[in-house]
Amino acid sequence: METAIRRPNWLSRLNAVWAPPAVLDFWLSRLNPLWSWGHARARVIELHPEADGVTTLVLRPNRHFRGFRPGQHVTVGVEIDGVRYTRSYSASDMPRADGRIRITVKTVEGGKVGAFLQTIPVGSVLSLGQAFGELCVPDEPAPCLMLAAGSGITPLLSLVNAQAAAGFRRPVRLAYWARTRAQLVQAEALRAFASRHPNFKVHFMLTGEASQAADELEGRIEPRHLTTLLSGDEQAHVLACGSYGFVERVREVLGDRCLSFRAEAFSPPPRVIDASDQGHVRVTLLKSGQTLDIPRNKSLLEALEEQGVKPRHGCRMGICNTCACGKSSGATRHLHDRSVQHEPTQALRLCIQAAQSDLSLEL
Amino acid sequence: MSKIYSRALSPDELDRFGEELDALRARTLATLGQGDADYIRRIMAGVRWLGLGGRVMLMVGAILGGTVMPLLLWPLCILGTVLLGLSKILENMEVGHNVMHGQYDWMGDPALQGRSYEWDIVGTSDSWRKTHNYSHHTWTNVRGMDDDIGYGLLRIFPEQRWKPFYLMQPVVAVVFALLFEWGVALQDLRIGRWFAGKMKGRTLLKMTTPVAKKAGKQVLKDYLLFPLLAGPYFLPVLLGNVVANLIRNVWTYMIIFCGHFTADSEVFPKECVRNETRGHWYLRQLRGSSNLTGGRIMNLWSGNLSHQIEHHFYPDIPANRYAAMAVEVREICARYGQHYNTGSLPKQFGTVIWRILRHAFPSKPGPARPLIAAG
């Protein structure tokens, strides 16, 4: 579902003079909080608790949402205490004819948004980004092995549902790791697929409990599991989704015993966050495409200037806001009160912030 | 004519003065939350409703007044004009000015981002961010660095060199008040430098392009598109828009002039900011700024610039917090023997008018009032 971006003609430009999009959005949202001139938004229409600290939300997007493919994620924006936070979640079901999206949200320790979404009132409106992500089942009909750990199950659920809707035209095997049985999401639905379709098999891999049922196995991923998961001589396409550590471990265990390997880690590689201000970090400048190593012990503005980058700047003391720029990832430290900021932001003052971890800046 | 009670502080005292004000800042920042977000959204809604009300009144007044009920023409058009003027005042002062300082950047709402907000006035936000947020707020009342001192047109302080041109100042000041938004729009171009042959025509032209674009849009909107909606009853709507903009211009001029040009506000030489400490910076902001009394109504309609002192101390803290912070700021200033310049609008604006009249003629600066105690 691609929409060509229309070039503004003189009429639409004239219209924007007396009715700018921000003004139109204000009046549209008075009529219906879901309506907007150009932004995708979604209403929460159902909430289903799935397992310990895991809830599925059914969202109904407005007409600006351009749909998704199974295995993709969407960015959801919520406002907590006046502050907008964004997180991406994989759709946990295949695309539906009614356009509704299902996302499955897990609370993580100390996480704000996950916990907020667990109890969000039905009827609330969220902001939505367009879907992205490359995880998908290859076209050719070889068997497919899916490996999920924890929240990594969500995009794979979407892919499994899509395969089920197509009647499992190829052998699909899913191995799903969780610490305990109570943390498994949609276990019954998966078992139901397995009992109905000879082409679909599911294995629940428990790391914190003993296995009981026939479709349960124990332990973290190890080479011995492969005899079950890659039974016979046939080669399979492998999809894996989980934490960074899980995905790396899968890659190691599999070696070259597969046709293709696609993986998605929902957590970035572990970042060393060191409270001291020694050493260097890597800064990616998204607009100019540069990557630089800069010291952590001085303001970002100073450090970037030393590397020959000249960001816009003014007072150099945090007053005038001229050097504010977007930060899409990474942690920074305020030079006056030493407070650390992890959230992505649209306005980071380079002159009074120092790098704390690797960063991506909109420069 | 003014009596200054502020004493010079020793370097140690200055440091402590700065630390106390920094601590107040940190305490306030820690409590920002939903209440502040709700506040700015309420104001934003106020701007939109007042604007809609004003434009509808003007339109209805013009059309009904021009057709079936001529008696309604004046009352409805005047009401519409006032509402539209109020909407523009609120948008410029409480939303535009404050959002552009980055006061609501912490919310992460794209519509309230300091570096991208565009306001409803002929000047571009970009040039305001430069002349105001950077030059004026960093170098408040420093001669030769803060262009807001007399806006290159007026002689407000005896420290400015007198020229015969200033004899016309009382008239210039009135025209400037009426056309204030145009003055602000042109401020960054420094056309004076081009007249003096210090700037190339091409440079000026390049700088003028965005300003002309923005001004063109505003003129098109207020003086053509909206009036045209009334069809043959174009004229009253046009007039209403012109007057609404004039109301906004005169009001903002008064508030802004009361912020730095009252009797007790001081100007500083360039040497003052060399190796300036945090405490020294705060003291300079205090001595150069002045507040207005008048409670919540004044706070709202001045975009909280009634708390000019607090605004200069904390330009990036949501302005609705200034009133509460002012209680502590005042107490801190009193303990350090610093005059806290405040007064009613008539009183403060009276002293501004006196300055404009008095310094149209040659005048001599009073004795130096050092910020830091010698030795």
| pLDDT tens-digit readout, B304-319 | 999 999 999 999 999 9
Residues 6+ apart with CB under 8 A from B270: B142, B143, B144, B145
Half-sphere exposure of A157 (CA within 13 A, CB side): 26
Which of A23, A86, A321 is the best substitution to test chain B (most B C-beta atoms within 10 A)?
A321
Helix (H, G, I), strand (E, B) or coil at A255: coil
Whether B220 contacts chain A with CB within 8 A: yes
pLDDT at A275: 66
Whether B38 contacts chain A with CB within 8 A: yes
> Counting Cβ atoms within 10 Å, is residue A294 exposed (0-12), middle (13-18) or buried (19+)?
buried
Q: What is the C-alpha separation between B141 and A102, in angstroms, rounded? A: 58
pLDDT at A233: 62
Chain-chain contact of A347 with B114 (C-beta, under 8 angstroms): yes
Chain-chain contact of A314 with B37 (C-beta, under 8 angstroms): no
Q: Tell me the ipTM for this assembly.
A: 0.89
Q: What is the C-alpha separation between B323 and B296, in angstroms, rounded? A: 9
Chain-chain contact of B133 with A82 (C-beta, under 8 angstroms): no
Chain-chain contact of B38 with A83 (C-beta, under 8 angstroms): no
Q: Check pLDDT > 80 for residue B351.
A: yes
Would you give per-residue pLDDT tens digits along chain A (363 residues)?
344 556 667 888 888 888 888 899 999 999 999 999 989 999 999 999 998 889 999 999 999 999 999 999 999 999 999 999 999 999 999 999 999 999 999 888 778 899 999 999 999 999 999 999 889 998 888 899 999 999 999 999 999 999 999 999 999 999 999 999 999 999 999 999 999 999 999 999 999 999 999 999 999 998 888 888 887 667 899 999 999 999 999 999 988 888 899 998 887 666 556 667 788 999 999 999 999 999 999 999 999 999 999 999 999 999 999 999 999 999 999 988 888 888 889 899 999 999 998 999 999
State how far the alpha carbon of B70 is from the alpha carbons of A172, B64, B67, B74, in Å. 80, 7, 7, 8
- Asked if residues A134 and A69 have their Cβ atoms less than 8 Å apart, the reply is no
Residues 6+ apart with CB under 8 A from A66: A1, A2, A3, A40, A130, A131
Q: In B96-233, which residue ranges form alpha helices assigned H by DSSP?
A: 98-100, 125-128, 137-138, 169-178, 180-187, 191-195, 201-220, 226-229
Shortest distance, CA A319 to any CA of chain B (angstroms): 7
pLDDT at A271: 59
pLDDT at B26: 94
State how far the alpha carbon of B274 is from the alpha carbons of A315, B9, B79, in Å. 14, 17, 52
Q: What is the C-alpha separation between B331 and A264, in angstroms, rounded? A: 58
Please identify which residue in the block is written with the tokens 């003609």. A9
- Cα nearest neighbour of B37 on chain A: A82
Chain B residues within an 8 Å CB radius of A314: 130, 133-134, 138
| pLDDT tens-digit readout, B70-129 | 999 999 999 999 999 999 999 999 999 999 999 999 999 999 999 999 999 999 999 999
| pLDDT tens-digit readout, B153-208 | 999 999 999 999 999 999 999 999 999 999 999 988 888 788 888 888 888 899 99
Q: What is the C-alpha separation between B83 and B50, in angstroms, rounded? A: 6
Q: What are the phi and psi torsion angles at A104 (to 5°)? A: -115, 125
Please identify which residue in the block is written with the tokens 């579902």. A1
Can you say whether the dihedral through the CA atoms of B127, B128, B129, B132 is positive or negative? Answer: positive
Q: What is the C-alpha separation between A203 and A216, in angstroms, rounded? A: 6
Chain B residues within an 8 Å CB radius of A317: 138, 281
Chain-chain contact of B134 with A320 (C-beta, under 8 angstroms): yes
Q: What are the phi and psi torsion angles at A337 (to 5°)? A: -105, 5
Whether A317 contacts chain B with CB within 8 A: yes
Task: Pull the structure tokens for residue B98.
Answer: 């404050």
Chain B residues within an 8 Å CB radius of A322: 129-130, 133-134
Q: What are the phi and psi torsion angles at A53 (to 5°)? A: 65, 20
Q: Check pLDDT > 50 for residue B1.
A: no
Q: What is the C-alpha separation between A44 and A121, in angstroms, rounded? A: 8
Chain A residues within an 8 Å CB radius of B130: 314, 322
Whether A132 contacts chain B with CB within 8 A: no
Angle at B170 between CA B168 and CA B176, to 5 degrees: 95
pLDDT at A269: 63
pLDDT at B139: 94
pLDDT at B71: 92
Q: What is the C-alpha separation between B301 and B319, in angstroms, rounded? A: 12
Shortest distance, CA A325 to any CA of chain B (angstroms): 8
Chain-chain contact of A315 with B315 (C-beta, under 8 angstroms): no
Helix (H, G, I), strand (E, B) or coil at B297: helix
Chain-chain contact of B22 with A324 (C-beta, under 8 angstroms): no
pLDDT at A1: 38
Task: Pull the structure tokens for residue A118.
Answer: 């667990």
Shortest distance, CA B361 to any CA of chain A (angstroms): 35
Shortest distance, CA A84 to any CA of chain B (angstroms): 5
Please identify which residue in the block is written with the tokens 């002309």. B212
- Cα nearest neighbour of B110 on chain A: A346
Q: Which runs of E-coded beta strand occur in A200-311?
A: 200-206, 216-218, 237-242, 260-265, 280-285, 290-295
Interfacial B residues in 101-120 facing A (CB < 8 Å): 101-102, 105-111, 113-115
Helix (H, G, I), strand (E, B) or coil at A154: helix
The secondary element (H helix, E strand) that includes residue A334 is: strand A332-334
